[in-house]
């Protein structure tokens, strides 16, 4: 039988190893906690502070509010036959972005719901989770999502920067040119949300820019691993229409020829025109 101090040291080592494993894949740990209704597992992995920015619940901060949020979220999805599919992940430094497709079962219309979750740690003991998505698949309505982050000077370069410049200018030719010939753009919602190939992309962006020009964004945080680039932003303008600033996330997937294989947006913005 080990001497008591050795037992304590072994238990502490086991806790540290578990924390390290959870911190290595924070979004997976977060999704597990939501599925299991286990707020305490997040608190054990990040004993400092856990903050959640959720489209439905807003900002969740503090142990009591965290436990209520986890409990309410589990109740929301109980009986919906939810499964998830990972689309992609991007990480750099202390920030990780995971894109998911959430599938709701046949009793709920076989809905496919695109969601992106950002996990960012300011230190080893604390973490913030930011979720980006539309709420239309849940309640049938768009909801104005106030900014989560403040603007920053971080600006992506290469093809991502050219895409953002073309978006701001409302230049259909320039934005289509940033994609590979079979590249795709995925809108936040809709059964026909994926637009693939030059012809479909041209039709789609011509419609998007039909409200008097481009779409104005301010960048807040960039997570770039060289293959995928995620841009957290605030959406300020749609064509000639000024809008209340609203939070959103764009993810760009680079191809092999310096152009984009795919781009995806996660937001709940109500455009001044039909996005079809």
Q: Per-domain residue ranges for the chain?
A: 4-133, 158-266
State whether residue 141 is helix, strand or coil: coil
Cβ contact 43:36 at 8 Å? no
Contacts of 99-103 with C-beta under 8 Å, sequence gap 24+, read: 99/251, 99/264, 99/266, 100/31
Least confident of 11-25, 176-190, 211-225, 231-245: 11-25
Please write down the HEC assignment for all residues of 142-202: CCCCCCCCCCCCCCCCHHHHHHHHHHHHCCHHHHHHCEEEEEEEECCCCCCCEEEHHHHHH
Q: Does domain 158-266 have CATH number 3.10.450.50?
A: yes
pTM: 0.89
Phi first, then psi: give them for residue 255, nearest 5 degrees. -90, -160
Phi-psi region of 50 (alpha: psi -120 to 50; beta: other; left: phi over 0): beta
Burial of 196 (0-12, 13-18, 19+ CB in 10 A): middle
Phi first, then psi: give them for residue 269, nearest 5 degrees. -75, 135
- How confident is residue 139, by pLDDT bands cut at 50, 70 and 90? confident
In this predicted structure, the answer to whether residue 9 has a pLDDT above a threshold of 70 is no
Asked if the domains at 4-133 and 158-266 fall in one CATH topology, the answer is yes
In this predicted structure, the answer to whether residue 3 has a pLDDT above a threshold of 60 is no
Q: Indicate the class that CATH gives domain 4-133.
A: alpha beta
DSSP 46: -
| Average pLDDT of every residue of the chain | 87
In this predicted structure, the answer to whether residue 233 has a pLDDT above a threshold of 60 is yes
* Mean pLDDT within 250-259: 95
């Amino acid at each position: 039988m080990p001497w008591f101090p050795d037992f304590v040291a072994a238990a502490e080592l086991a806790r540290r190893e578990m924390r390290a494993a959870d911190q290595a894949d924070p979004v997976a740990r977060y999704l597990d906690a939501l599925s299991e209704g286990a707020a305490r597992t997040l608190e054990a992995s990040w004993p400092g502070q856990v903050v959640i920015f959720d489209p439905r619940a807003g900002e969740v901060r503090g142990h009591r509010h965290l436990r209520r949020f986890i409990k309410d979220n589990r109740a929301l999805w109980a009986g919906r036959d939810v499964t998830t599919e990972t689309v992609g992940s991007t990480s750099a430094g202390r920030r990780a972005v995971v894109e998911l497709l959430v599938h709701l079962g046949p009793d709920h219309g076989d809905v496919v719901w695109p969601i992106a979750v950002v996990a960012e740690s300011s230190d080893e003991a604390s973490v913030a989770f930011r979720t980006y998505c539309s709420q239309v698949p849940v309640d049938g309505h768009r909801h104005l999502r106030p900014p989560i982050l403040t603007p920053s000077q971080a600006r992506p370069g290469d093809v991502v920067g050219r895409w953002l410049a073309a978006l701001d200018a409302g230049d259909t030719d320039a934005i289509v040119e940033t994609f590979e010939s079979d590249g795709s753009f995925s809108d936040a919602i809709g059964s026909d949300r994926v637009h693939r190939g030059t012809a479909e992309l041209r039709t789609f962006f011509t419609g998007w820019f039909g409200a008097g020009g481009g779409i104005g964004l301010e960048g807040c945080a960039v997570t770039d691993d060289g293959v995928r680039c995620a841009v957290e932003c605030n959406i300020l303008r749609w064509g000639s229409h000024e809008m209340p600033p609203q939070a959103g996330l764009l993810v760009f997937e680079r191809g092999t020829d310096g152009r984009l294989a795919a781009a995806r947006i996660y937001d709940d913005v109500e455009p001044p025109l039909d996005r079809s």
